[in-house]
Amino acid sequence: MDRKINRRQFLVEVTAAAAVLAVLKGKGEVEAETVKLTPTPTPTPTQTPGPDVTPTLTPTATGTSEPTGTPSPTATPEPGQRPNFLFIVMDDLDYRSWAQRFTPLDRRHRPYYNPDGTIVTELPMSFLQSRPGAGWTSFDSAYCVGAICAPSRASMLTGVAAGTPNGHGVTHNGEIPRLDDGNTLPVWLAAEGYECSLFGKYSFSDHRGMETPPGWTNFDLGGRATTVFTKGIDYIQGQVSSHPDKPFALFLCPTEVHDPIQLNEQYKRYNLNLADIPPNFAEADVSDKPLWIQRLRGWPQRAGSMNGRRSLVIRSLLGVDDGIEQVFDALQQAGQWDNTVIVFLSDNGMSYGSHRLTSKDTAYEEASHVPLMIRLPWLAENRAEERVVSMVDVTATIVDLADAQAGRPPLGRSLAPLMAGPQAAWEGIVYLEGHGSEKRPVYRGLRTGGDGIGRFSYVEYPATGETELYDLSADPYQMQNVAGQPEYAAIQLLLAERLAFVAANGVQPS
């Protein structure tokens, strides 16, 4: 593993391995093409099949739902002008719950119909997902580094992993005191003249009254979206009147949709149907999985409880979406809409019974794949990006757009070129890690999907020597671990080598 590794060489080797794999698979059992040399849309397993109908129940306010307008002539902010940043950081919101269409039902549990006779379906955050005001990139393959609250949020604030040599050290919930909070994103932004504020959740089980960490002007912990967004709106209105020329970075971090969920009044009696449960729910054959999965006992075997839980999540999101509309209105009224970069994301996902798991903190898709949307107000179009990105890329993006200096060697890279031009090169290899518990061994892994490499999930458990490799183009639900299978040997070797580099250095190769 001490062979010198660099990105260019990796691309050459992985392309060759992909060609070999394609030939091997052409002979036999696995049908779907595995490795593509150009980015491709993955099948989106989270959407219900059927006609793409426009929901009619809820008007989508000011949104434009598809690419409109002409490309921005500059694709950059005004020279010398630093944009504001608005972060909306959700808690435990998995990609599937966010992206999946559901069917609203009337009081007698009947669906609504469109004029053409098709059943009305809705997205859980139809206002935000209408991409109001244009300039949005929907990153449909975004991953957190550690798939649990405090480690993930610390990665967002530092741009590094937890357990690598230069990591932030917050490997488990409750360990936020281990964070060197004098060297974080708000500190770097404050050094450039930003006023940084956080309303809501900071790490995990935050105690009110904790000392305000460096970099923050306002640091007001706790609260559901209704509370957090009200404070955010007050701040936007007050900030602009008191010092309109000072750029701000505003983090609104509601507790939704972390358990326990409380619903806004108007959604307590809201009825809906969900799409079918995914095939990896209560996975029947786990003989391909590591021992800790095989040893799980008492996993949910009926979908009802999991769908009940997810239905609650969706009704909660309807309320959060209403609040986001009010926050955006406040930005517009304050004259800051055209100068504010907006980032919407979640700290981690949730398993909902997939692979017999109910929670998070694993490398599986359900736990580590999160929603991510970013709006650059100087762009005129909306678009979706399928290539794989990481939450630490978001941190690098903010540093880039603010023209700030990161105080830590970044694990991620700025997404700004990717948002400005879909033709921009993007490797699409991100690092995943989890630091385990009594029953779950420590893992580290890579999720891939970008230029030159297909969609794979590769995970190692150093304590047990077990490995998992999923060929996600053929097996999006991770039903069959192909680690050790001869046709994947070349790909697995390259991924193992690359993973070893990142784990040993805390950065991607240059």
Q: Quick one: 5 or 257, whose CB is closer to Ca ion?
A: 257
Q: Which of 164, 316, 336, 348 forms a contact with Ca ion (CB under 5 A)?
A: 348
Q: Which of these, 474, 484, 486, lies nearest to 35 by C-alpha position? A: 474
SS3 category, 216:
strand
Chain mean position to CA 257: 14
- Asked if 260 touches Ca ion (CB under 5 A), the answer is no
Number of residues that bind Ca ion (CB under 5 A): 8
Rounded to a whole number of angstroms, the minimum distance from the CB of residue 289 to Ca ion is: 6
Q: Quick one: 355 or 413, whose CB is closer to Ca ion?
A: 355
Q: How many CB atoms lie within 10 A of CB 413?
A: 19
- Asked if 354 touches Ca ion (CB under 5 A), the answer is no
| Cβ contact 296:357 at 8 Å | yes
Q: Which of 347, 386, 393, 475 forms a contact with Ca ion (CB under 5 A)?
A: 347
- Asked if 149 touches Ca ion (CB under 5 A), the answer is yes
Range in contact with Ca ion (rule: CB under 5 A) among 14-22, 149-157, 294-302, 408-416 = 149-157
Residue in the shown chain whose Cβ atom is closest to Ca ion: 149
Rounded to a whole number of angstroms, the minimum distance from the CB of residue 151 to Ca ion is: 10
Per-residue CA distances from 298 to 109, 290, 304, 478 (Å): 32, 17, 15, 21
Q: Which of 285, 298, 438, 510 forms a contact with Ca ion (CB under 5 A)?
A: 285
Rounded to a whole number of angstroms, the minimum distance from the CB of residue 3 to Ca ion is: 33
- Residue spans of beta strands (DSSP E) within 177-286: 195-200, 216-221, 248-253, 271-273
Q: Quick one: 91 or 366, whose CB is closer to Ca ion?
A: 91
Q: Which of 277, 479, 496, 500 forms a contact with Ca ion (CB under 5 A)?
A: 479
SS (H, E, C) 32-63: CCCCCCCCCCCCCCCCCCCCCCCCCCCCCCCC
One-letter amino acid at 503 equals A
Rounded to a whole number of angstroms, the minimum distance from the CB of residue 348 to Ca ion is: 5
Q: Which of 91, 220, 433, 466 forms a contact with Ca ion (CB under 5 A)?
A: 91
- Asked if 288 touches Ca ion (CB under 5 A), the answer is yes
SS3 category, 89:
strand
Range in contact with Ca ion (rule: CB under 5 A) among 90-98, 390-398, 464-472, 500-508 = 90-98
Q: Which of these, 247, 175, 244, 200, lies nearest to 398 by C-alpha position? A: 247
Range in contact with Ca ion (rule: CB under 5 A) among 25-33, 47-55, 148-156, 218-226 = 148-156
Give the alpha-carbon dihedral of 428, 429, 430, 432, to 10 degrees: 140
State how far the Cα of 104 lies from the Cα of 14, in Å rounded to an integer.
45
Q: Which of 13, 92, 321, 385 forms a contact with Ca ion (CB under 5 A)?
A: 92
- Where do contacts with Ca ion occur on this chain (CB under 5 A)? 91-92, 149, 285, 288, 347-348, 479
